Structure 1
Amino acid sequence: MGVRPTPPYHVEERGMSPPQCLPPPPEPWFSWLVPLIFLANIAMFVLSMYINDCPAKMSPEKCLFYEYLGRFSFQPFKENPLLGPSAATLKGLGALERDLVVKKNETWRLLSCMWFHAGAIHLAANMMSLLFIGIRLEQEFGFLRIGILYLLSGFGGSLMSALTFTGQKLAISVGASGALFGLLGAMLSELITNWSLYTNKCVALVSLVLIICLNLAIGFLPHVDNSAHMGGFLFGFLLGFILLFRPQYGYVSRKYIPAGYEVKHKKPKYKCYQHLFWVVSLVLLLLGYIVGLIKLFKGEKIEQKHIGIFIHV
């Protein structure tokens, strides 16, 4: 998103050494966490299909692709059009169901549900988004910040999903979409808080907003838990201001630095608005988690008429 600015003059042409206050851009991080998350999601889907064992629970002829997949064949299309296991299997493994969290104190489902998917189509869509968005962010900000962002955004999405009243009893929700929307939200706040570091600012902003709007629009399709999407996006947006802010000095491209020249790093400078965003976002984030959990365990709900039509997987 955008290009880091290079010096306004050519060092070799002016016969000058590069300014000491402008260090070279940081080396990109090696991305290993996002591929690991990708493999973990694949493994959890394979596990869910193994435990589901469709042919053992109904006539094998009714299971999709039984001839090729055997025990790993999918539930009938009418039951699960996303090509995956039954709702009962997902529920047993850790899908999010409001009553189990509130009445049986199975709070762990707020985190476990993000590692399971309703079907192969659901999994493929989420994993392509994860690789496309996550690897770039991890290369730029490192595994620790992106790992925290992914988990806390996913938790926030699950919390919003559990608070949302759909009118459907025993509705369950699974998938990494809340965490992925958290990454999108963080990309937007990162662009805002690091605005001065970007060239082509308007192009970067418009492109990102279009991507976000397209993904949010998909959330209004049937069987999609858009409340988890919205929750993940909002929590990720706040987390981006906290985790992804950068010191506000420019960088000199390495090709402009003479061989053997030792760059003296200037103390990082942060803008006042970055500190303001950080404090406000931290306060709102903590309030969101605390108030959300209190409302959830009090049995309170957010009804559809207040936030739109949200349908769970």
Structure 2
Amino acid sequence: MARIEPMESVGEMSPIPKWILVKAHEFWNRQDYKHDKKIPMQQIKESLLLTKESDRLPNALVIELLQKADANEDGYLDYDEYMKFAETASSHSKGRDTFSRAAMTMIPRNERTVNKRTYFQNYSCCPPPFFMVLATFVEIGVFVYYMVDMAKPMLAAGPAPIYSPLIFNPERRYECWRYLSYALIHSGYMHLINNLVVQFILGIILEVVHGWWRIGIIYLSGVLFGSLAQSISDPTSYLAGASAGVFSVEYAHLGNILMNWSQMEFRWIQLVIIIVLSCSDVGFAIWDIYFNGNKTKTGHAAHLGGAIAGMTVGTYILRNFEKKKWERYCWWTSLVIYLILISIGIILSIALPVPEYFPENDNATIGQARIDYFSNVA
């Protein structure tokens, strides 16, 4: 028998979009190796659940096949039944299928159940991913507030409202909330946009799969460790921006790959992307510190602290879909490493045994600090 051609059964006026039609026929021809226009349902399910065949089909079609195939209950899926499911799946947009596919790259293949596939397929951002969306809007709101409060245009690279009670001020380290709240302040609109774009792209998918509270802990852990690292390495510098939290979310992807390596799709591609990003980050830091004649104000230590937090906390807290003995050791090791590092950072920030290493405390009230700032710039 001849193989089925894309337009043979459905005709030239098929309501099925061409991109689904092509993928559907390719899958059918690979499964129907006897060319008798029917395939055992067991074969269909095994192909979709255990192999890469499902990666080539729209997620909506995979769901239809796993849930409703074999309408006449004879144990086989015939071609006409199959094309009806393809037509039903065609009501879903290609953009939605792209989102579903991206989300499922965060999940091992053996965990891609019908329920998870259906959740991603029907996901409408209502309610939206809680933490990443909340962080984004709060950071935008704070930026707009200080742009109005300073009564001057906020340029691409500043100025930063150094009088703000949120920014990390090295002379007010005793106000411990600043070790976290500095992430809400940004020095210029390019600083804000860069952080928001990266955290939204990398954080949303991870949050949809692993839950808002896990991503929240990873993000805040990076922000905290980033400020401690920057304060200890450069004790006289102000610190603003969510970059440490963004780096933490970025490198949490490495923890996700590590803990679910054997089942992850495109694991090598994801690993290579993270390595390339890491090399770029390290390369820029080395160039900026040692070779750039006009050094930027980038907090490289904060970035490093965020990355370390992301790798360790991410390995510990992200969902491990298939627990193995060595992964338990890795899990505990990551937790212990982070706790040790964060403890050292806190102790050194409180009692570093180097006289006059940190600047003297500024004990003026927050209101007075604001008045002094505007007096100096007037």
TM-score (normalizing by structure 2)? 0.58
Q: 1:279 aligned to 312, 317, 332, which one?
A: 332
162 and 39 in structure 1: CA distance in 2 versus 1, 3 angstrom threshold: same
| Deviates further, 292-301 or 183-192 | 292-301
291 and 49 in structure 1: CA distance in 2 versus 1, 3 angstrom threshold: same
Q: 8 Å contact 1:48–1:93 — kept in the other structure?
A: no
Q: 1:246 aligned to 316, 320, 325, which one?
A: 320
Q: 2:149 aligned to 32, 48, 51, which one?
A: 51
Give runs of aligned pairs for residues 128-147 of structure 1, distance below 5 A.
128-147=197-216
> Are 2:100 and 1:31 equivalent residues in the alignment?
no
> Are 2:217 and 1:148 equivalent residues in the alignment?
yes
What secondary structure sits across from 1:96 in the alignment?
Answer: coil
Partner of 1:260: none
Letter in 1 for 2:176: T
Residues in 1 aligned to 2:145 and 2:135: alpha-carbon distance in whole angstroms: 15
Q: 8 Å contact 2:111–2:321 — kept in the other structure?
A: no
Q: 8 Å contact 1:219–1:229 — kept in the other structure?
A: no
Q: Which runs of 5+ in 1 are unaligned?
A: 1-8, 55-72, 75-80, 249-269, 302-313
How far 1:10 sits from its partner (Å)? 6.3
What secondary structure sits across from 1:84 in the alignment?
Answer: coil
What secondary structure sits across from 1:106 in the alignment?
Answer: coil
How far 1:246 sits from its partner (Å)? 2.0
Residues in 2 aligned to 1:211 and 1:112: alpha-carbon distance in whole angstroms: 26
Residues in 2 aligned to 1:147 and 1:10: alpha-carbon distance in whole angstroms: 44
> Are 2:246 and 1:180 equivalent residues in the alignment?
yes
Residues in 2 aligned to 1:190 and 1:158: alpha-carbon distance in whole angstroms: 24
> Are 2:279 and 1:210 equivalent residues in the alignment?
no
| Deviates further, 154-163 or 196-205 | 196-205
199 and 96 in structure 1: CA distance in 2 versus 1, 3 angstrom threshold: same
**Rg: which structure is higher?**
2
Which structure has more relative contact order (CA 8 Å, sep 6+)? It is 1
Q: Which runs of 5+ in 2 are unaligned?
A: 1-29, 33-37, 51-109, 289-295, 355-378
Q: 8 Å contact 1:52–1:85 — kept in the other structure?
A: no
287 and 203 in structure 1: CA distance in 2 versus 1, 3 angstrom threshold: same
How far 1:179 sits from its partner (Å)? 0.3
Residues in 2 aligned to 1:23 and 1:133: alpha-carbon distance in whole angstroms: 21
Q: 1:41 aligned to 124, 128, 139, which one?
A: 139
Partner of 1:158: 227
Q: 8 Å contact 2:255–2:311 — kept in the other structure?
A: yes
Q: 2:39 aligned to 6, 10, 13, which one?
A: 13
Q: 8 Å contact 1:184–1:212 — kept in the other structure?
A: no
Residues in 1 aligned to 2:165 and 2:182: alpha-carbon distance in whole angstroms: 8
Q: 8 Å contact 2:210–2:319 — kept in the other structure?
A: no
Q: 2:166 aligned to 94, 110, 134, which one?
A: 94
How far 1:216 sits from its partner (Å)? 4.0
- 1:185-234 CA-partner distances (Å, limit 9, x unpaired): 21112111110112333222112211232244444541101000000100
Residues in 2 aligned to 1:199 and 1:32: alpha-carbon distance in whole angstroms: 26
Partner of 2:305: 231
| Greater helix share, structure number | 2
- 1:125-169 CA-partner distances (Å, limit 9, x unpaired): 111111111111111111111111111111111111111136xx4
Residues in 1 aligned to 2:260 and 2:133: alpha-carbon distance in whole angstroms: 26
Q: 8 Å contact 1:163–1:300 — kept in the other structure?
A: no
224 and 285 in structure 1: CA distance in 2 versus 1, 3 angstrom threshold: same
Partner of 2:68: none
Identity of aligned residues (%): 24
Letter in 2 for 1:200: F
Residues in 2 aligned to 1:299 and 1:98: alpha-carbon distance in whole angstroms: 14
Residues in 1 aligned to 2:325 and 2:31: alpha-carbon distance in whole angstroms: 31
In angstroms, what is the RMSD of aligned CA positions? 2.6
Q: 8 Å contact 1:190–1:240 — kept in the other structure?
A: yes
Partner of 1:298: 351
Q: 2:188 aligned to 119, 134, 147, which one?
A: 119
15 and 247 in structure 1: CA distance in 2 versus 1, 3 angstrom threshold: same
Q: Which portions of structure 1, spanning 4 or more consecutive aligned residues, are displaced by more than 6 angstroms?
A: 9-12
- 1:223-265 CA-partner distances (Å, limit 9, x unpaired): 10100000010011101111114222xxxxxxxxxxxxxxxxx
Q: 2:267 aligned to 201, 214, 221, which one?
A: 201
Residues in 2 aligned to 1:141 and 1:152: alpha-carbon distance in whole angstroms: 16
Residues in 1 aligned to 2:310 and 2:151: alpha-carbon distance in whole angstroms: 36
Q: 8 Å contact 1:188–1:208 — kept in the other structure?
A: yes
Say how many residue pairs are matched: 240
Letter in 1 for 2:146: S
Residues in 2 aligned to 1:226 and 1:40: alpha-carbon distance in whole angstroms: 24
